[in-house]
Amino acid sequence: MRPLLALALCGCASAPPATAENNPRKPTADDAKAFVARVNEDLKRLFVKSSTADWIKNTYITDDTERNAASANEELLGYQARATKTAAAFKELPLDPDTARMLYLLRISATAPAPEDAKKRLELTTLAAKLEGHYGSAKDKKGRDLQELSALLRKSRNHDELLDAWVGWHETAREQRPRYQRFVELANEGAREIGFANMGDVWRSSYDIPPDEFEKETDRLWAQVKPLYDGLHCYVRAQLQQQYGKERIPEGKPIPAHVLGNMWAQEWGSIYPLVEPYKGVASLDVTKAIVAQKWDPVRMVKAGEAFFTSMGLDPLPRTFWERSMLVKPRDREVVCHASAWDVQFDDDLRIKMCIRPEEEDLVTIHHELGHDYYFHAYYKLPALYQGGANDGFHEAIGDALTLAMTPAYLKRLGLLEEMPDNPKAVINVQMKDALNKVAFLPFGKLIDQWRWDVFNGKTAPGDYNKAWWALRTKFQGIAAPVARSEQDFDPGAKYHVPANVPYTRYFLARILQFQFYRAMCQAAGHKGPLHQCSFYGSKEAGARLWKMLSMGASRPWPDALEAMTGQRQMDGGALLEYFAPLQAWLLEQNKGLSCGW
């Protein structure tokens, strides 16, 4: 993930050129062209200023760095608000495609539109810095941070220990509630000032289709893949009952959120040993091999880089290794949540992670480098085009490579032994993949569904937590493990809510990555079942990927999707093709079980 303002606020700077209300002459198409040229120059300078401040704030959390970041971002947001209003003067003019595209990107670029009032704008950016800073430095009542608590949830099988860790972390978010409520009020005010009903409409308008149509599109994609998720949920619940008992994991009820190996029950890969279909068939313990072979963070990142270079893409620049944060410093608080950066919007590629010698982090590294290679592909484009075709594209690139981290690829790295070629081994591998890829789908959709309802007033501040758990139960079949109230603010225990990072991008990425993966497999000449493909070393696949990456945001996303896949519609069909063996197996296993919740 690229940092919030660096990734999402593509369109603002110091003082827009005079047009419209302060210029009596009627604006022309030439004025519009000059306007976007000026904005592209200005915004790059302010992007660098705010991105630098954000980098420092994320890697050195103090009151001073939060205040510095808030000030830099206030300047950026102030220009953005003025530039967006100025751009409205060109709305009805006949414009060349590039100018029209840039004006569109400018209008929909802000994830937190700033009010024109300078005091409110500074209040907004100050709240944003404090929300993220609190999350990054939070510890539970026993002094445990998120890394420690998350490790416990991944590894422990003691029910009471898991519950204690889950409650401990979620309690840290309580004080975020009033900050978040005020943040929403201010951002909605900013959204109305630039012609949107609320912040949710701004977010949904960024997909080249009307906001209501986009929401229907996400519903369509979810309906495609929901049967596979439902089958996985049913099987996993039955296996967890064997571990914890039906009195704790009731039949036909939602699964308690604390027993799925992840603080947010968003990915379930850590409980694979509990649900492994065929015990002892194919060792899939990559973490064990990483630890045994003493892989350090640099070696892990080098492995990710090698995948991209094997496809004909460039090595990472020298400055990447000098400026990235790969381990958690001992002397200060940092935001460990993994993210990718081009701090100076000029190939200044970096990642920020507190890398652990675990398979999950090796996968995350491949994901974050996908962002960095996207930045690398388009950094020479005008600033307004320095973004993905849509934000789901940005998230899907690295994830498509993680699909190609097949047992054969991991064997190449020396992290797996020879894999037996039999149906039982296939099901084991697919189960492990599905616990992360498929289990995530409803979570990826519901985060923004909750926020859209908050932004438009459907969910009142007094119902924040009630609405959160209603959606988690509806989509995920997950329930809070203990009683919750409106004294709690459980959405704030998930990074992307206090950091105000739109989340539908991750849901779309789970769909798009399989489309991208299938397209690169086709380019690599793969024959056979889709799940067996790895395009490691394929220059043809790399060329297909680069063609799309280098477009940046210069064309509507259907054009970029077509360049990569030959399709113009996002489609869950590739995901279902990939998991076809597992889905058929789950149908057999779940016969006689009480599925659903």
Confidence check: pLDDT of 434 > 90: yes
Most confident of 88-97, 233-242, 282-291: 233-242
Q: Is the pLDDT of residue 10 over 70?
A: no
% of the chain exceeding 90 in pLDDT:
82
Residue spans of the domains in the chain: they are: 4-138+173-196, 216-589
Enzyme catalytic residues: 337-338, 367-368, 371, 395, 496, 506
> Residue 415's CB: how many other CB atoms inside 10 A?
23
pLDDT at position 8 over 50: no
482 phi, psi to nearest 5 deg: -135, 165
Give residue 2's pLDDT: 40
Query: 3-state class of 288 per DSSP?
Result: helix
Tell me if 10 sits within 8 A of 378, measured CB to CB: no
For the domain 216-589, what is the CATH code? 1.10.1370.30
The pLDDT assigned to 461 comes to 97
Strand partners, 341: 350
Can you say how many angstroms the Cα of residue 377 is from the centroid of all Cα atoms in its chain?
Answer: 20
Cα–Cα dist 379/372, whole Å? 10
Q: What is the pLDDT of residues 304-359, one digit of tens each?
A: 999 999 999 999 999 999 999 999 999 999 989 899 999 999 999 999 999 999 99
Q: What is the pLDDT of residues 179-215, one digit of tens each?
A: 999 999 999 999 998 889 999 999 999 899 888 899 9
What residue type is assigned to position 107 of the chain?
R
Mean pLDDT, the chain, rounded, equals 92
Among 534, 541, 532, 535, which residue's Cα sits nearest to residue 579?
Answer: 532
358 within 8 A of 155, measured Cβ to Cβ: no
Do residues 343 and 48 touch, judged by C-beta distance below 8 A? Answer: yes
pLDDT (tens digit per residue) in 562-595: 999 999 999 999 999 999 999 999 999 999 999 9
Average pLDDT over residues 289-311: 97
Residue 370 pLDDT exceeds 70: yes
d(CA 367, CA 365): 5
Res 5: pLDDT: 33
Residue 23 pLDDT class (50, 70, 90 cuts): low
Give the per-residue pLDDT at 89: 86
In the prediction, which pLDDT does 24 show? 61
DSSP state, 325?
B
| Predicted confidence (pLDDT) per residue in 453-491, tens digit | 999 999 999 999 999 999 999 999 999 999 999 999 999
Could you count the other beta carbons within 10 Å of the beta carbon of residue 158?
A: 11
**Residue range 284-312: average pLDDT?**
95
pLDDT given for residue 22 in this prediction? 54
CA–CA distance, 357 with 379 (Å, rounded to integer): 31
């026993």: which residue's tokens? 142
Distances (CA, A) of 451 to 444, 461, 464, 471, 558: 12, 11, 9, 11, 26
Tens digits of residue pLDDT in 211-250: 889 999 999 999 999 999 999 999 999 999 999 999 999 9
